[in-house]
Amino acid sequence: MFSYRHAFHAGNHADVLKHLVLVQLLRYFAQKDTPYWYIDTHAGAGAYALDGDWADKTAESGTGIARLWTRADLPAAVAEYVEEVEAFNGDEFLRSYPGSPFLAAQAMRERDRLRLFELHPTEIDVLRRNVGQLGRDVGRHTMVYAADGFEGVKALLPPPTRRGIVLIDPSYEDKRDYARVVQCLEEGLKRFATGCYAIWYPLVQRREAQQLPARLARVPARAWLDVTLTVRKPTGDGLGLHGSGMFVVNPPWLLEPALKEVMPWLTDVLAQDAGARFSLESRQA
């Protein structure tokens, strides 16, 4: 159950799509003075060394952030995402990668709040240490829970500010995660119908994965956006991640035009073979 460690995959093509979208959401929420909550149901370790032993075993950042790092032709939304990774590294060298919690922490203002869940017995300890290094200002606005985020998020909704982003990002190693994602979204919307929910999902040769977007689209919501990035053809044995998607419920209206601009470019840059493509669908309120 607890075999998944995101350090093996940090900065890969799936992280690029997920965090590009997340950075857009965070920047949109910061445009208003009203504070917001960022809630992460599966926070992981929060930050990852790209030159560490785990990352070196797969070097998956080479399929993602490393392909963007030195380019001078980044479209606006991609440039904003890369700027956040650069800020985390502090110089021109790509040594580390910020997970979703650290991207949120970098965007957080004085009255915003972070709420992070992690159940993995090793990752939670690393997450706590990493959050502790963010400094007192961020730390006093952040709560870390050693708990099942699918269940724990319910007690936090709606946030007191009535503004919030909920990232639902399990590993999907347990196939029950697919059903739990749908249930988590349904229950979240009952408590906090105006919240912004961002669900990452893998593109793999598994029936549950292929059915998930349609199941999410049937959940009663005012509006949603679904963007996918496929970087290669599926393998003959059906193994491996050939792409990923982000399904955003109650997306800001600026998100879709931003993705329409960048996704053709991003697909070309991250393509691994002729099977690379993207999709972008939405339903408006």
Residue 274 lies in a domain: yes
Three-state SS letters, 137-154: HHHCCEEEECCCHHHHHH
Residue 112 lies in a domain: yes
Q: Which residues, listed in sequence order, are joined to residue 197 by a DSSP beta bridge?
A: 166, 249
Side chain identity at residue 274, one-letter code: A
Residue 253 lies in a domain: yes
Residue 2 has a pLDDT of 27
Nearest to 112 by CA among 218, 226, 35: 35
State yes or no: is 169 an active-site residue.
Answer: yes
DSSP the chain: -----GGGTTTSHHHHHHHHHHHHHHHHHTTSSS--EEEESS-TTSEEETTSHHHHHH-GGGGTHHHHTT-S---HHHHHHHHHHHHHH-SS---EEE-HHHHHHHH--TT-EEEEE---TTHHHHHHHHHHTT-HHHHTTEEEE-S-HHHHGGGG-S-TTS-EEEEE-----STHHHHHHHHHHHHHHHH-TT-EEEEEEEE-S-HHHHHHHHHHHTS--S-EEEEEEE-SPPPTT--S--EEEEEEES--TTHHHHHHHHHHHHHHHH--STT-EEEEEEE--
Task: Round to whole Å and give the CA distance between 260 and 84.
Answer: 21
The tokens describing 171, both together, are 């590993």
Q: What is the average per-residue pLDDT within 45-68?
A: 79
Residue 172 lies in a domain: yes
Number of compact structural domains in the chain:
1
Residue 69 lies in a domain: yes
Task: Round to whole Å and give the CA distance between 183 and 198.
Answer: 14
CATH number at residue 193: 3.40.50.150
Domain that holds residue 177: 6-283
- pLDDT tens readout for residues 7-26: 678 999 999 999 999 999 99
- pLDDT tens readout for residues 223-275: 999 999 999 999 877 778 999 999 999 999 999 999 999 999 999 999 999 99
Measure Cα distances from 38 to 43, 113, 150, 201 in Å: 11, 6, 15, 19
The residue from 40, 169, 177, 226 that is catalytic is 169
Residue 151 lies in a domain: yes
Instruction: Indicate the pairing of strand 224-230 with strand 243-249.
Output: antiparallel
Residues 6+ apart with CB under 8 A from 192: 157, 158, 159, 162, 164, 166
- pLDDT tens readout for residues 156-208: 999 999 999 999 999 999 999 999 999 999 999 999 999 999 999 999 999 99
By residue count, the chain amounts to 285
Residue 1 lies in a domain: no
Q: Is pTM beyond 0.75 here?
A: yes
Residue 139 has a pLDDT of 73
- pLDDT tens readout for residues 123-168: 999 999 999 888 777 778 999 999 999 999 999 999 999 999 999 9
